[in-house]
Structure 1
Amino acid sequence: MNLALWIAAGLLAAVALASGVIKMVVPMAKLAAAPGGEWTGDFGAGFIKALGVLEILAAFGLILPAVLDIAPVLVPVTAVCWVALMIGAIAVHLRYGGVKFAVVNLLYIALAVFIAWGRFGPHSFTA
């Protein structure tokens, strides 16, 4: 189970890092033209960059606390925060008709809930 939790955290961290970097470096016009990115046209560049920073921090928060053994409780806390972020993403994607992107966000939520359950519960780093 510990291996499954590490794999889930690694996958989710990779998704978060990629998404965050994309939001930080891709120009707003290109983001808005991309499939699933239509919503970015209605938000300011600062907001999009802030989301990118949050996603990059989430990527680090899912891995580094456990690897460095510095406040490893931050791993499941980060997973819970990711759930909140993805709930917002689902709402935005549904508002713009992106049902398939909302479904993908549901998969990310499932991974994050699995991580939070495992790391808060039976497979915590302190147990």
Structure 2
Amino acid sequence: MNIILWIVTIFLAAGFLAGGLAMLLLSKERFRNAFEGWHYADDFPGGFLKVIGVMKVLAAAGLILPVVTGVATWLVPYAALGLVLLMTGATTTRIIRKEWGSAAGDLVFWSLAAFVAFGRFVVVPF
């Protein structure tokens, strides 16, 4: 189970790091036009997108760095729980916009983050 948790954790960290950096480094217009499903950016001010980008990057770091450094490994499930909350908002936004395919994708990330949170809180804690 520990190996599966690590595979999912690394996948989540890579995905959220990439998405967070895109939000931080691209202008709102370039971010919106980068992929077809990112038009939700129209619903938010640019500063809000930057805050979400910071949250994604911090969560990605929180999934990996505590274990790599051996410091505060108890933060890993909390980082995953933070992603569950973040993806709840993302999924809600997609549903409101009637972007069903993107909402389904967000639910996959929600499920993976919930799996890591549960796994690290209960099944194989550090």
Which category describes the TM-score, using the shorter chain as reference length? over 0.9
Partner letter of residue 21 of structure 2?
V
Match of 2:80 in 1: 79
Runs of at least 5 residues in structure 2 that lack an aligned partner in the other structure: none
Correspondence list, 1:59-70, <5 A: 59-70=60-71
Q: Spell out, residue by residue over 1:23-79, the C-alpha distance to the aligned partner (whole angstroms, 9 max, x if none).
A: 111221122334122221221111101110100001100111112111111100111
Paired residue type of 1:113: A
- The residue type equivalent to 1:114 in the other structure is F
Aligned residues between the structures:
125
Gaps of 5+ in 1: none
Give percent identity, aligned residues only: 38
Which ranges of 4 or more aligned residues in structure 1 deviate by more than 2 Å?
Answer: 30-34
Alignment of 1:108-127 (within 5 A): 108-125=109-126
| Residues 66 and 72, structure 1, Cα contact 8 Å, conserved in 2 | yes
Q: What CA distance in whole angstroms lies between the structure 1 residues aligned with 2:43 and 2:121?
A: 37
Which has the larger helix fraction? 2
Separation of aligned partners in 1, 2:71 and 2:20: 23
Match status 1:24 vs 2:24: yes
Deviations 1:54-112 (A, max 9, x none): 00001100111112111111100111110010000001111222111111111111111
Contact 1:38–1:96 under 8 Å retained in 2: no
Q: Distance in 2 between matches of 1:30 and 1:123?
A: 41
Alignment TM-score, normalising by the size of structure 2: 0.93
> Equivalences for 1:12-51 in 2 at 5 Å?
12-33=12-33, 34-51=35-52
